[in-house]
Structure 1
Amino acid sequence: MTGVEHPVIRTPDQRIRVFVSSTLRELAGERHAVREAIERMRLAPVMFELGARPHPPRSLYRSYLEQSDVFVGIYGASYGWVAPEEEVSGLEDEYNLAPRSMPKLIYIKDVPARDERLEQLIARVQADDTAAYLHFSTAEELGERVSADLATLLAERFDESRADAPAPAEPDLAARVPAPYTTTIGRDGELAEIRALLAGGRHRVVSLIGPGGIGKSRLAIVAAHANADLFPDGVYFVPLEGVLEPGLLLPTIAYVLGIRDTGADSLDERIAQSLDDRRVLIVLDNFEQIVDEAPVLVRLYTLAPNACFLVTSRTILRIRGERVFDVDTLGLPPADAPPTLAQAQESAACVLFAERAAAVKPEFELTEANAADIIEICRRLDGLPLAIELAAAKVRLLPPADIAARLGRALPLLSAPMRDLPDRHRTMRATIDWSVGLLTAEQREMLEDLGVFGARFSLDAVEAVGSARPWGGHAIETLAALIDASLVRQADQDGRSVFSLLTIVREYALEALEERGDADELKLAHADHYLALVKDIAPRLRGQGQVDAVTELGLEVPNLRVAARHLVHAGRVDDAADFAWDLLVYWWISGYFADVRLWMIELQRTGRPTTVRTQAIVTFFTIWAEMWQTPGVEVVAGLGECARLFTLSGDEHAAVMALTARASTRLQFPDLDPAVAKAELDDAVARLQGFGDRWAESLAEVALGQLGVVVQDIPAALAHFDRAVEIAEAADDAFTRIVAGNNRARLRFLLGIVEECEEEFLLTLRLAIQLRFVEGATYGIEGMCAIAASRGETWRAGALAAAAATIRQETGIYDIAGLAIHLQPLEAARAADPDAVAAGERAGRDMSLAEAIALALPDAEVEMRRLAEAW
């Protein structure tokens, strides 16, 4: 709500009056819920059922409005009764009579149909810069929203009564949205329409629907950039092309939002906490392969009332709140118009062809001589952007006349057998067939074999998987030819060259591989390569090579998912379990436990016989989330069963890790038995020493330190944290050094050892940056907040505290009660200099993780700041 001078709002003890406007009978339950919400806040509801007649005269509700401070409107399906000699209903009249300076909170119920005049009134509300509006479904939800919104409104007005509010910061587009790699042609009209849909606030899900290759993803990316100003709290891009299991939709969205699944709470609750009332746009690209999961979006937009979803899909989602937007082909010259240069220059399809052709052959131009051939090509390809791009890439080999001639001979034959596909899709398939037809047999076979990979892959992986293939002896040259043919893309990521197929091309390749009968062989070759890769990398996940190992695995996540799926579907369930167990440290650092849990559940559903060790691994991963969310006797018993199964399998090392987890679970019990927990952890430490597992030993010492904090044995706690740090440093292990160091630094701060705290917090922050460990970085930021507050750096303390709180909210990071050491010194700083702390908090709430890290680090640490920016 902007554009007016806000009045000073009285504090609740002076009984602010809240006028409630709605139809009486239709929304009786909702009115009751709102009344209770207002009264719970010790405010005064102004409602006609509290003594007024069903249809009060205009003068009466004008009087009520004049005596009220806040206007609450509840709109459902009915426009309401229009009294004799009146032109509008009482519902609209009340809205008209509410003073412009009065804060207006409007709540719109999700209903199947609405009176036309009410739709018109709601459209006015949405255009009114003095009104805020939200949708709701149930009376209970409405009551909660009204309570929260009134509390926020009172806080804002109270702040405004003390000082002028600062100008809002310019909205910043989330860096996760990829930049278009080429210019966008011929989509201005669609972009304007999409903006209108996103700006209206009525549509929770806008679905860009069309066949493969029509440009849905490109349009969504450009729309995300163009409409960032409508979503001040962020724009996020979620690629789903590598997400084939329906259960991975929610974890994938959470991961892009920055929410890490360490098992501490359900993803639903974490996403709700992260988004809260933030106005964000979430782009979900390539939704068609998990379209049965579409109801998840309804659950998400219910939890996040101000979030909007922009979806690309080949099929309609068919869920409540969806607004379908059909993506059309690019404009072509009229069929009855002569094929002239002027006609080609006015056609978006022809301009696209010319630009993409010039990209591969810089001297190429759209001319009088080639205009007719280019128009013919674009017409035969029905204006499909991807088909045009594939054809344009061939100008390096063939002139437009030859391209047009080849298309003319190939299309009728290649499109005829596929009667069950849409015409445009048949044309697209024919276009890929034609492009593939220009390849040698060896190049074609490689393209089809590449269909087994995930969204991106390395040259090493290609060479390994193809070692026994005909093209295996000269993979580099063959891959280069596919890149030249615009069928494979190459990019640089984290200093390494990676390759990818367009989604439609990968589907085409995999289908051809299946028809050839080689799919199972290639899938197992792919799985075996990544099994071997994991076996090679896994030992480096603990110790000196940890940072490099985590970076390397981060590039391979799409193929790790695919490999796990290949193993499970091939019935190699024991290999799949070992694959998951070997990567335990990586799942923990990077927050992928939800993925692993789904694989384990899928593994169980195969019904195939498994070894005892596999049973132990499956039990461990499926119980991990419960260890944090519901730490009860059932979890303790389950982890004990894990240990028993590991022992039966002969893996005593894994058994001890399960027992360590069981002892750590006990620390969360309200009726903790310290002696039992200590005995189990002491035993675990001794046995882990015997196995030489310094990684797990350090974490067990941290648990002993936390036990000391819980029972207030501070000397013992500090000794165990010291020991945990010593073990981590001896192993040169970044993860355990971060965990142990942050626990020790926080305890030292509470003991007044401030100088050593600062050194340790900065060290753990640097390590977290290198490891890309969000939770560890958050601890370091909070630690530096405590240091700043203790030194009187009030603005910096406020900014760091607010930035850390935002990161915790957005990523779902939780903390052990009592160890948020920055809160008490922050309050002391606030008492000394409230304005500076408040100003810092305002700035900190808008900071990115990289900006917060930069503020926490000393000015001289340029390289660390650069790494944080790259993160």
Structure 2
Amino acid sequence: MNRATPGLIRTPDQRLRVFVSSTLRELAQERRAARAAIERLALAPVMFELGARPHPPRSLYRAYLEQSDVFVGIYWESYGWIAPGEAVSGLEDEYNLAPQIPMLIYIKESAQRDPRLEDLLDRIREDDRVSYVTFVGAPELRRLLTSDVATLLAERFELGTGRSALPEPARAPGATTLVAPPPVLTPLIGRQAELSILTQFLIDDGRRLVTVTGPGGVGKTRLALAAAREMGPRFDGVAFVDLAPLRDPALVLDAVASAVGVVDSGKTPLNIQLQTALGDRRMLLILDNAEQVIGAAPELARLASNTAVSVLVTSRTLLRVDGEQNLALGSLPSTAAIELFAERARAVKPDFEISDSNASHVAKICQAVDNLPLAIELAAARVRVLSPSEIADRLQHTLPLLVEGARDRPERQQTLRSTIDWSAELLRPDQHALLLRLGVFRSGFALDAAEWINGEEAESSTLDLLTALIDGSLVQEHDRGDRTWFTMLATVREYARDNLTALDQFAQYSDRHAEFYIRLAAAAGAEIIGPQQQAWASRLVDENNELTAAVEYLLESRRWDDAVTLVWSLDWFWGITGRLVEVSSWMQRVLDDGIEASERARTLARVEVVLIGVWRKPDRASIGPLTECANYFGAHGDGRSEAKALAGIAWIHIYSFPPDFDAAEEYLQQSLDLVESLNDPYVAAGVRIMIGHAHILRGNLPGAVEILDAFLADSGGIGDSLLTGSMLNARGWAAILAGDLDQAEECFRQQILVASAIGHEQGVAYALEGFFATAVAVGDVERGGKLLGAAETIRQRKGNADAAKMSFHAPVLRDIEQTSPVMFQQARTMGRTLDTAAAVEVALESIEPVAS
């Protein structure tokens, strides 16, 4: 095991990484073809997509280049955008920064290339590191790239070079980018016929809802992932939803929304938001492990019937809804089962081969476990310490005894559970104990969480124990940037939970689980607004299911104060990830059932419920309850909570009709005074944004400029990208209303770069609406229409068109719809077809006045 990095465990699979450089907008089809070709060869495509990762774009592609093994350049007509302060485009910069690795260049035929791109291509043709060829379209590129990379692999590379794996950055909260299926590092064995049937169902026959059924461990998820890779290029996108952590069918749509980037606004039913966001998008939605939330089947059927989305479900049971097409998955054929055993055995013992001396033993092993893929993998993992004959002997003696005790389960399920039991019994007692304790996690965990659950009584370090579980294929390891993340297959987790419950220890370790997340929430809440925001937000996205499990356990255990403390600590996170409706239901439960809760806990729950209601619909009737809460917090020395309640009252005065700006500014000033006295610059910045908005709405532009400029002058010390982006947007609108278009353009330019760098599409939409106004102001109706249309598409895909009401562009829109309706609507329609990266490119083009 590689121990170069403390706390990092590497799997035996180290895929070569292929960096793909191209412009985003003009070569979208070619980029999809390149990804498909690279993944078909079981390699890792490294593709920079603007706004898809929580890192600054330039530093991101530089880091990816340093960790890549092959450089692929795809060029056509555009030279690409040149960032402010840079001499060359990102396209040329990527080529310049490429390390000493093989370079494959593909040039799409064209008679009208940008001269700057021609200069770059001349340099490329003279580079002796480069192999280049011309092509016509995406299909030809896919064939060429597949052939060239396959040849390169045979000539130049040996897998398993020891280079550290490419980190997998956590998805940015609030991102519109789809949650992609997890990477598959091993070939699909014995399921080619089933894969062809799935392709026929979903592509040829146009089936919209297909369910792959079968017992646990039969390979349903693996087949679905293979289908995603095979069919992905034929869809507009593929989103993956793991339903295994869920217990409540009512949360399935929330999980789907998160996977497709829809943030629940609470103002429109989530099913309607999803239907609006997905609409006619031709995408593939994979729902994995649906059996324990089968009650959501009608909602899933409605989602498929009311949108253009194709839904592929894996489940132990049918959904039993209209339009469902079933593919039942059975055990592997014997020859495929033996091949799978050999392939998995080589992962832990590279020199393993099927031979005359062990072939019969391998066949007996596969027969003993009913040719179930997961059971085969668990058995094969033991060849590191046991020979095939020893494994076969142990299985044939042990499994019949174990199966006898599980007659209530289907036959194949008995075999699988017994195989897991057999594999677990080969562990040392402390390794076995950790396996069971890890069953309290719903989806995954970091090393510090495993260490907390395991406690201090273990003789060996938790890291060493985890290594043994990984070696036995009972736990999987993944990279999340500079963090390591661990998961268990649903069947293994179910086994661990059942055994922990049988030992009467599930409640004990659920307590430990909840205590860990109470502490984690407190630590995150203290830093999530500030310079550590992105690091914490990325981790909390991973921990989402565990946080939910902890809250639900605390509520079920009537630990009201602890539940409220955990939820209140992460109020910013719940908002940015669209969990406010769920939070409101949690806190309402405290108010309804938590008679034993402390007065403080009940007050915090009350203010949370009221504020969420106010966000959905400002109502002056809520001023009284918020005032009572603010008075309570003030009397008990909780200035931060008091400031939040006061800001909520101000919000009501600003956005109720008619607004009362004098009252709003009075409450905002009280709130600002409180947080400044607490030396809390981050909450103070949020209050200043509200003050700036109030000044703009009432026409007090000098007041808005004063407070916003004071923040921006010191924004580097804040280090909070979302706050900075919001300030820049408000300052840009103040400049527009004051007639300073140059200042406005610069503010929106900075905002869109900040939002793109952290993957915050809502911020991009706000900036695009600002650029729309500046373009229209100089007479460029076509550009303005495109940018507004692109902003509307982002909001639609977020399922949250209501957020546009927080912008100031409505009056500009009304004017242009009256003065240039035809030209504007045509451009607006065109803009709605732009993806985010293309819209950002259009926005960052310098504006020029249009001659009248």
Residues of 2 paired with 1:770 and 1:552: CA distance?
Answer: 17
Distance 1:195 1:452, change over 3 A: same
Residues of 2 paired with 1:169 and 1:802: CA distance?
Answer: 27
Residues of 1 paired with 2:610 and 2:683: CA distance?
Answer: 19
Which structure 1 segments of 5+ residues have no match? Answer: 1-166, 333-346, 860-871
Residues of 2 paired with 1:635 and 1:464: CA distance?
Answer: 42
Residues of 1 paired with 2:391 and 2:178: CA distance?
Answer: 41
Moved more, 236-245 or 196-205: 196-205
Q: Which of 792, 809, 813 in structure 2 is aligned with 1:820?
A: 809
Q: Deviations over 1:723-778 (max 9, x none)?
A: 55467555443332222221111231343323333332233334334544332233
Aligned match of 2:79: none
Which structure 2 segments of 5+ residues have no match? Answer: 1-135, 143-175, 847-852
Aligned match of 1:207: 211
Q: Deviations over 1:575-619 (max 9, x none)?
A: 110111111122233333244334334555655521122222323
Distance 1:703 1:173, change over 3 A: closer
Cα distance, 1:459 vs. partner?
A: 1.5
Aligned match of 2:349: 361
Cα distance, 1:460 vs. partner?
A: 1.9
Larger Rg: 1
Task: Name which structure has the greater RCO, CA cutoff 8 Å, separation 6+.
Answer: 2
Matched, 1:481 2:485: no
Matched, 1:712 2:699: yes
Q: Which amino acid aligns with 1:321?
A: G
Cα distance, 1:825 vs. partner?
A: 12
Residues of 2 paired with 1:756 and 1:422: CA distance?
Answer: 70
Q: Deviations over 1:187-245 (max 9, x none)?
A: 2222222233324677543222222111111122222332335533x321111222233
Matched, 1:747 2:734: yes
Distance 1:378 1:408, change over 3 A: same
Q: Which of 300, 324, 327 in structure 1 is aligned with 2:326?
A: 324
Cα distance, 1:500 vs. partner?
A: 1.4
Aligned match of 2:195: 191
Q: Which of 486, 490, 504 in structure 2 is aligned with 1:499?
A: 486
Matched, 1:525 2:529: no
Aligned match of 2:312: 310
Cα distance, 1:853 vs. partner?
A: 4.4
Would you say the 8 A contact 2:558–2:594 is kept in 1? no
Residues of 2 paired with 1:692 and 1:452: CA distance?
Answer: 39
Q: Deviations over 1:760-817 (max 9, x none)?
A: 2233334334544332233234445555666788887665444332211111342226
Q: Deviations over 1:629-680 (max 9, x none)?
A: 3322344445345435545665343133122112212322232233333333
Residues of 1 paired with 2:317 and 2:412: CA distance?
Answer: 14
Q: How many residues align?
A: 674
Aligned match of 2:294: 291
Q: Which amino acid aligns with 1:653?
A: R
- What SS does structure 2 have at the residue aligned with 1:321? coil
Cα distance, 1:436 vs. partner?
A: 0.8
Would you say the 8 A contact 1:523–1:566 is kept in 2? yes
Aligned match of 1:279: 282
- What SS does structure 1 have at the residue aligned with 2:418? helix
Q: Which amino acid aligns with 1:318?
A: R
Residues of 2 paired with 1:585 and 1:265: CA distance?
Answer: 21
Q: Deviations over 1:284-326 (max 9, x none)?
A: 1111222223232244345x33223221122222333333332
Would you say the 8 A contact 2:179–2:260 is kept in 1? no
Q: Deviations over 1:35-89 (max 9, x none)?
A: xxxxxxxxxxxxxxxxxxxxxxxxxxxxxxxxxxxxxxxxxxxxxxxxxxxxxxx
Aligned match of 1:458: 446
| RMSD (Å), alpha carbons | 3.5
Moved more, 532-541 or 621-630: 621-630
Aligned match of 1:585: 572
Q: Deviations over 1:432-454 (max 9, x none)?
A: 01111111111111111111223
Would you say the 8 A contact 1:265–1:629 is kept in 2? no
- What SS does structure 2 have at the residue aligned with 1:429? helix
Residues of 2 paired with 1:603 and 1:756: CA distance?
Answer: 49
Cα distance, 1:854 vs. partner?
A: 5.8
Aligned match of 1:374: 362
Would you say the 8 A contact 2:275–2:307 is kept in 1? no
Moved more, 411-420 or 460-469: 460-469
Residues of 2 paired with 1:729 and 1:590: CA distance?
Answer: 25
Residues of 1 paired with 2:811 and 2:222: CA distance?
Answer: 44
- What SS does structure 1 have at the residue aligned with 2:282? coil
Aligned match of 1:18: none
Aligned match of 1:35: none
Residues of 1 paired with 2:228 and 2:440: CA distance?
Answer: 30
Would you say the 8 A contact 1:694–1:727 is kept in 2? no
Moved more, 585-594 or 512-521: 585-594
Distance 1:709 1:192, change over 3 A: same
Matched, 1:394 2:398: no
Distance 1:433 1:823, change over 3 A: farther
Q: Which amino acid aligns with 1:286?
A: N
Would you say the 8 A contact 1:698–1:723 is kept in 2? no
Could you state the TM-score of these two structures normalised by the residue count of structure 2?
0.72
Aligned match of 1:449: 437
Could you state the TM-score of these two structures normalised by the residue count of structure 1?
0.71
Residues of 2 paired with 1:670 and 1:173: CA distance?
Answer: 36
Distance 1:843 1:816, change over 3 A: closer
Cα distance, 1:381 vs. partner?
A: 1.4
Would you say the 8 A contact 1:738–1:767 is kept in 2? yes
Aligned match of 1:256: 259
Residues of 2 paired with 1:674 and 1:389: CA distance?
Answer: 66
Distance 1:390 1:786, change over 3 A: farther
Moved more, 410-419 or 199-208: 199-208
Would you say the 8 A contact 1:448–1:509 is kept in 2? yes
Cα distance, 1:521 vs. partner?
A: 2.0
Residues of 2 paired with 1:412 and 1:825: CA distance?
Answer: 76
Distance 1:532 1:320, change over 3 A: same
Distance 1:595 1:183, change over 3 A: farther
Q: Deviations over 1:684-714 (max 9, x none)?
A: 3333333333333333332233233333333
Q: Show the 5 A alignment for 1:676-825.
A: 676-723=663-710, 725=712, 731-784=718-771, 800-813=787-800, 814-816=803-805, 819-820=808-809
Matched, 1:656 2:609: no
Q: Show the 5 A alignment for 1:492-641.
A: 492-603=479-590, 607=594, 609-641=596-628
Q: Percent identity?
A: 33
Q: Which amino acid aligns with 1:424?
A: R
Would you say the 8 A contact 1:684–1:700 is kept in 2? yes
